[in-house]
């Protein structure tokens, strides 16, 4: 019988590839199609604007937070899939993946690359790492 830890490792290794495919789908779609998939940012910004929050600054903050949330699963999955991985390797993987995404987006005419996306994506990976660690430590 497998231990709970072994099941988590196997589960994370099974979930990681589909997550990466979904991530690629979101970040490499042309902007118009991506807006249909991730339009919730604009919808929330519009809703906040009805409450008096300026729409454009709200959209910038929400997009940053969406990038953090988009990459948090990467940190969780890497920690669970590779239990002995060093924290800096998880953060570096998130950073390098993000830089790679932004470089590819340079070749997609309707997409915009930005340093703030790299920062948000790396922060999301780090947040995921911390969430996985805190859950693991909470279990003892």
Q: How confident is the model at residue 30 (pLDDT cuts 50, 70, 90)?
A: confident
pLDDT for the residue 2? 82
Closest among 28, 18, 33 to 77, alpha carbons compared: 18
pTM over 0.85: yes
Boundaries of every domain in the chain? 4-139
Residue 75 near residue 90, CB atoms below 8 Å? yes
DSSP 124: H
Q: How confident is the model at residue 43 (pLDDT cuts 50, 70, 90)?
A: confident
The arithmetic mean of pLDDT across residues 69-98, rounded, is 97
DSSP 29: S
* Percent of the chain clearing pLDDT 90 (strictly above): 67
The arithmetic mean of pLDDT across residues 78-85, rounded, is 96
Query: Is residue 35 over pLDDT 90?
Result: no
Closest among 131, 14, 11 to 69, alpha carbons compared: 131
Query: Is residue 38 over pLDDT 80?
Result: no
Residue 59 near residue 67, CB atoms below 8 Å? no
CA angle (65, 13, 89) in 5-degree steps: 60
Residue 15 near residue 87, CB atoms below 8 Å? no
Question: Cα separation of 5 and 73, whole Å?
Answer: 18
The residue that leads in pLDDT, 4 or 68, is 68
């Amino acid at each position: 019988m497998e231990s709970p830890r072994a099941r988590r490792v196997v589960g994370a290794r099974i979930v990681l590839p589909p997550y990466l495919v979904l991530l690629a789908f979101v970040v490499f779609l042309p902007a118009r199609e991506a807006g249909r998939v991730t339009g919730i940012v604009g919808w929330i910004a519009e809703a906040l604007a009805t409450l008096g929050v300026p729409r454009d600054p709200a959209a910038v903050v929400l997009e940053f937070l969406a990038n953090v949330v988009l990459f948090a699963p990467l940190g969780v999955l890497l920690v669970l899939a590779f239990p002995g991985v060093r924290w800096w390797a998880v953060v570096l993987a998130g950073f390098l993946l993000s830089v790679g995404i932004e470089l590819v987006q340079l070749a997609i005419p309707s997409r915009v690359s930005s340093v703030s996306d790299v920062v948000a994506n790396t922060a999301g990976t780090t947040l995921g790492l911390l969430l996985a660690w805190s859950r693991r430590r909470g279990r003892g």
